[in-house]
Structure 1
């Protein structure tokens, strides 16, 4: 007999029978659903509280930097990296550590902080910026080949002018003047890079001029004077 031709009583009996036979499974399913909902809410709450704590620590770091208390800033940055390694604030803290280290001429410390930041960053643009900073530190350490390796791994359209300038600096250290000249010319040819524009292109132009490079000013065409008609 088809289910749709059963009367209401028979349908009710079948439903009750099915419920009795599957009560355990239904209860387990409801319980699992409640656990998942509760767990999801707890996870979201935990993530929110972690974010607030990380932001609070980063503010403490910023305050210490502003007050020029570098030792305190480094301690807070270390705590951020340890307690919230997956947080964007930890990456920013590592960048601040690198900047402080450079100020102390501690290039090894700066390189280490930048390596950590590059390993933990999730934003592509920030990752590219960190790579450029790492390349500059390698140049300062005398590792021109290492700097070239980092810059050459970047996408061509990522901070192209700055990458070209660093590439030129690396070539110059390696004694490859022609390649350095071409790199500096490429840096000047792409004005879209805000990193280069922020410092103005004058420094790159000076580097290029020191190499005797750069296109000379365009000659102004001279229009020949009209001949006087013969008298």
Structure 2
């Protein structure tokens, strides 16, 4: 009889525990399983998203390589900007088109593409490269205020030499020879033995 009562008490205790904790246990299990499958679904969707962006980017690159950039190519680039700006391919596509347009002497169009690349770059490295190229074209267009604004932005220390060289170009274009010398000297010091002949020549042309 005592054994029966003990088992009965155990069953009642189990029922009581389940009544008090069963719902939260089921909810917790459901949340855990949902989170696991949700993360897997999210990862798969992200992979699909990146692959789609890569495919579109390759179409732009192929068109540029074959010198066949047309309205369809521009539409693809716009699609990358509008729908895939969270991937590196959007900015890379604009970089490719900027190079293509510049080589065709379409400087204004190249600038517009570089501005898109800077604005939508999801990767710091791509943004730095885009900014440096854009500064060069701004100087070429005599848009000195825009060039200075980009040069004033925070950048990775690894690009200090390139930024100083461009500062020298900007000062020189504006007729500020003294500041240009200082900027070129700093760029040469930062690059050391790797300093290009072109950079050294620009500095030499400004005299002592």
TM-score of the pair, normalised by structure 1: 0.76
Structure 1 residues 18 and 169, CA gap change in structure 2 (3 angstroms): same
What residue in structure 1 maps to residue 122 of structure 2? 122
Contact 2:84–2:90 (8 Å) recurs in 1: yes
Which of these two proteins has the greater Rg computed from alpha carbons? 1
Q: Please, what is the CA RMSD of the aligned residues?
A: 2.6
Query: What are structure 2's unaligned runs of at least 5 residues?
Result: 1-5
Query: What are structure 1's unaligned runs of at least 5 residues?
Result: 1-6, 214-231
Structure 1 residues 192 and 127, CA gap change in structure 2 (3 angstroms): farther
* Structure richer in helix, relative to its length: 2
Aligned length: 203
* 1:27 and 2:26 correspond: yes
Structure 1 residues 21 and 149, CA gap change in structure 2 (3 angstroms): closer
Contact 2:87–2:122 (8 Å) recurs in 1: no
Secondary structure of 1:160 counterpart: helix
Structure 1 residues 33 and 80, CA gap change in structure 2 (3 angstroms): same
| 1:110-136 Cα deviation digits (max 9, x unpaired) | 333222222222332332222211211
* 1:66 and 2:65 correspond: yes
* 1:208 and 2:197 correspond: no
After TM superposition, the structure 1 = structure 2 runs for residues 88-99 of structure 1, keeping only pairs within 5 Å, are 88-99=88-99
TM-score of the pair, normalised by structure 2: 0.83
